[in-house]
Amino acid sequence: MNLTEQISKELNQTSELPKFGSGDTITVSYKIIEGEKERIQDFKGVVIQRRGVGATETFTIRKISSSIGVERIFPLNSPLIANITVNKKGKVRRARIFYLRNLTGKSARIKERR
Amino acid sequence: MPGLIGKKIGMTSVFSEEGKNIPCTILEVGPCTVTQIKTEKADGYNAVQIGFEVQKDHRMTKALKGHFTKANSPMLKKLVEFSSFDEVKLGDTLTTELFEEGDFVEVVGTSKGKGFQGVVKRHGFKGVNDATHGQHNRQRHPGSIGAASYPARVFKGMRMGGQMGNARVKIENLRVVKVLADRNLILVNGAVPGANNSYITIEK
């Protein structure tokens, strides 16, 4: 490992997060700072990709909110992520499941991995 | 301004407490040794010469060996002069202590060489945006470089193709994000000129 990677790893040590990958349904508890106050907002959906390495790794979550598809990208090392819970392990064949964007209703289901 | 010599290690990013992702450059800074103190009386101007990075003895010329021995310093690879250090003695070791988190610094480096480049890359000229309408061999040409029989010459400083990069570049007002004193490392917000492992100087 070179020095750059080493330093970025040391400086971006976040609390332990559970393992998850694309196809999994997860809930991200995200801190929102409004002036002085701080509250936590949950965002629950399917992980459709993880990208990047090290300090800049991000993941994208997609959910259907009142029949409109919503995607949100989170930096994995963000200090604003309070917690991540894995609700369901999904069985998918590829790392980036963008085909989900074209599917709705019954066809957009993902089989659960057991 | 007082400063130190260092090396560019590479870039990374760090999250601030507010959750902002800050792009940073990692710099290895110091330890530097004071190798000569120039005075108005002896040299005509005031300055402090410092050196960085230890070199093997047998790779030094006799002249430089004498220079370092006089200053009671190890053999060093890179020497740079700085003005207005307060109170340093010959042979003193200077470390990252000079800088604190939140300081704004200037970093000088040698930019990456791009070779002989045309005006589009070198000066941001637009070139000709059409491949048709009578153009066939001038997509990236500069166009007119002046008028005709008056002034009958091209003005000095006209921007043309030529060597790009491999020049001294100073970047001002870079914020020090973190100082890792135990490993002589400094993180500054933003980019720094030059390739990784190239020498830089960092000034307060």
Domains, chain B, ordered by start = 3-115+169-203 (2.40.30.10), 116-164 (no CATH)
How far is residue B21 from each of residues A57, A61, B118, B189, measured CA to CA in Å? 11, 19, 36, 11
Continuous segment of H or E residues that includes residue B68: helix B62-70
Q: Could you tell me if B19 lies within 8 Å of chain A, comparing CB atoms?
A: yes
Asked whether B180 and B174 are in contact (CB, 8 A), the reply is no
Phi first, then psi: what are they for B32, rounded to 5°?
-110, 150
CA–CA gap between residue A4 and residue A53 (Å, rounded): 12
B67 three-state secondary structure? helix
CA–CA gap between residue A78 and residue A31 (Å, rounded): 10
Place of tokens 């870079």: B174
Sketch the domain layout of chain A as residue ranges: 3-90
CA within 13 Å, CB half, B161: 10
ipTM score assigned to the predicted complex: 0.75
Q: Could you tell me if A1 lies within 8 Å of chain B, comparing CB atoms?
A: no
Write out pLDDT tens, residues A32-44.
888 888 899 999 9
User: Which residue among A2, A56, A79 places its CB closest to the CB of B13?
Assistant: A56
Contact A80 B19 (CB under 8 A): yes
B183 to chain A: closest CA residue: A7
- The CATH number of the structural domain formed by A3-90 is 2.30.30.790
CB burial of B30-60 (b: ≥16 within 10 Å; e: otherwise) equals: bbbbbbbbeeeeeeeeebbbbbbbeeeeeeb
Contact A75 B14 (CB under 8 A): no
| Partners of residue B180 in chain A, C-beta under 8 Å | 7
Handedness of CA B81, B84, B89, B93 (dihedral sign): negative
Q: How far is A102 from chain B (nearest CA, A)?
A: 32
Residue A1 has pLDDT above 70, yes or no: no
Q: Which amino acid is at A19?
A: K
| Partners of residue B185 in chain A, C-beta under 8 Å | 7
**Neighbour tally for B28: CB within 10 Å:** 20
CA–CA gap between residue A86 and residue A112 (Å, rounded): 12
Q: Which amino acid is at B200?
A: I
Mutating which of A1, A2, A3, A14 best tests the B interface, going by the most B Cβ atoms within 10 A? A3
Residue A3 has pLDDT above 90, yes or no: no
Q: What is the residue-level pLDDT of chain B in tens, covering all 204 positions? A: 788 999 999 888 888 888 888 999 999 997 889 888 888 888 898 888 889 988 888 898 999 888 888 888 888 999 999 887 777 888 888 888 888 888 899 999 999 999 999 999 999 999 888 888 888 888 899 988 999 899 999 999 999 999 999 999 999 999 999 898 888 899 999 999 999 999 999 988
Contact B17 A79 (CB under 8 A): yes
Continuous segment of H or E residues that includes residue A8: helix A3-11
CA–CA gap between residue A8 and residue A72 (Å, rounded): 24
Q: Which residues fall within 8 angstroms of residue B156, CB to CB, at 6 or more apart?
A: none
| Partners of residue B178 in chain A, C-beta under 8 Å | 11
Residue A15 has pLDDT above 70, yes or no: no
Tell me what percent of chain B is helix, strand and coil, each rounded to the nearest 5: 15, 40, 45
